Amino acid sequence: MNLRQTGWIPRRQCLAALSRVILKGESMTVALADETRDLPAREAAWSRALAYATVRWYIRLEAMVDGMLDRPLKPRDAVIRVLLCQGLAEVFHFGTPDHAAVRETAELARTVQRPGAVGLVNALLRRALREREQLAAVMDRNAVTRYACPSWLIRGIRDAFPDQQEAVLQATTEPAPMTLRVNLARISREQMGSRLAEQGVVAEPHPLVPSALTLAGAADVQDLPGFAEGLVSVQDAAAQWAALLLAPKPGDRGLDACAAPGGKTGHLLECADGELDLIALDIDGGRLGRVRDNLRRLDYRARMWVGDLSDPEVWWDGEPFDAILLDAPCSATGVIRRHPDIKLLRRQRDIPDLAARQSALLTAAWDLLRPGGRLLYATCSLLRAENETVVAAWLAGRPEAHVCPSDFPGGIDRDVGRAIALGARGMDGFYYALLERQA
């Protein structure tokens, strides 16, 4: 994108969104949607890309800024720190020409209406350009600033993936690839790849997931051949293992226990060629609208029920299920490439409460499963505390619960279940444990 045509307005909206995320703790998805809504599509995309780069590297950039300041900024000037990090992100992680990044960021400083902001921004960014190698060397000495990752999460990653820790940490700094899920009930992966190639879209078959195609670059999903007809959907390759592992059969009664936004719901139906008596349950009725939209595009049907899985008396009809997918609410650290604000908003103190909730949901789901039925516990967390620790503790005293083999390629064996390391073959980080209820 031509920077001179982009101008300062997308930067202003980027700063507004970043300020909401960093200073107020709001979701970046929500903040960016609000702040870029009125921009032309091209400028909105540019603004969002800069925001993602800034947040992805914010811990490193903030440390860099603080190291160059002669004295700390006052609390009322916190927006200047955000602006400085945004400017540094343009230079170090976004590819903007140096002079343009400095000039445009300094111009944007006029809008924050703080005395001396323009001069400070101009001076600090110019100094960063002169000292970029020295600054990078200092930041690389410490894992927190090298990977722009909080220390508690680094410890969790090292504990969970001791042999892959550096690769996983590096993956937290990188954008995720765009991966498609092919509806194999209606078209082969090879045929879908040919259709994409005819439109100039370069896609490679994923080596470990039979339904996945990875694009060489991001694309507007609405323009992809086959998307409107439900032949392909956007879904990470690791996430596609959920339906493949649970493998519901035509005629099964199934439950997608935390269904929104509906990617896995659609895949469950694809695996059974639509012949699945499926209930899509979610505690948020508004989010179930997204599930409905996804299924309408795929031309599949499921019953939409609003309810809390842990309170089945309110919504359950008493008929047990053959197959249950419990994609449990979690820290989402495994999808941190797609939601880098997790690095800033998630806290170590959140994990025990999440683990307690996950255990409660697992108990509730298990009580809905018929003898001989299967339940897949899944998270997109990298942390043992939300994965095998939860399942192992839950299994104690439940002799009727049998852990099924789930030897899918690319996974790492745990004491219970199997994990996928973030970045392995381009995949997000996931954990799966497949359980069967014996009579």
Residues 4 and 282: their CA atoms lie apart, in Å, by 46
Say if residues 435 and 377 touch (Cβ distance below 8 Å): yes
Q: Is 267 helix (H, G, I), strand (E, B) or coil?
A: helix
Spell out the alpha helix ranges (H) of 230-376: 241-246, 263-271, 285-298, 342-345, 350-366
Residues 123 and 138: their CA atoms lie apart, in Å, by 20
List the beta strands (DSSP E) in 124-220: 179-182, 203-205, 212-215
List the beta strands (DSSP E) in 299-415: 303-306, 321-327, 369-379, 401-403, 412-413
- Report the relative pairing of strands 303-306 and 277-282 from DSSP bridges: parallel
Q: Is 149 a catalytic residue?
A: no
The 10 Å Cβ neighbour count of residue 210 is 12
**Of all helices (H) and strands (E), which one includes residue 197?**
helix 189-198
Annotated catalytic residue, options 149, 271, 330, 380: 380
Could you tell me which of 358, 364, 329 has the C-alpha nearest to residue 255? 364
DSSP state of 192: H
Alpha-carbon 195 to chain mean position? 28
Phi, psi dihedral angles at 132 (to 5 degrees)? -60, -40
Residues 111 and 61: their CA atoms lie apart, in Å, by 21
Say if residues 181 and 233 touch (Cβ distance below 8 Å): yes
Q: Is 381 left (phi over 0), alpha (psi -120 to 50) or beta?
A: beta
* Residue position matching structure tokens 């600054």: 135
CB-neighbour burial class of residue 310 (10 A; exposed 0-12, middle 13-18, buried 19+): middle
Give the orientation angle of helix 117-130 with respect to helix 98-109, to 10 degrees: 160
Say if residues 88 and 65 touch (Cβ distance below 8 Å): yes
Q: Show which residues are catalytic.
A: 380
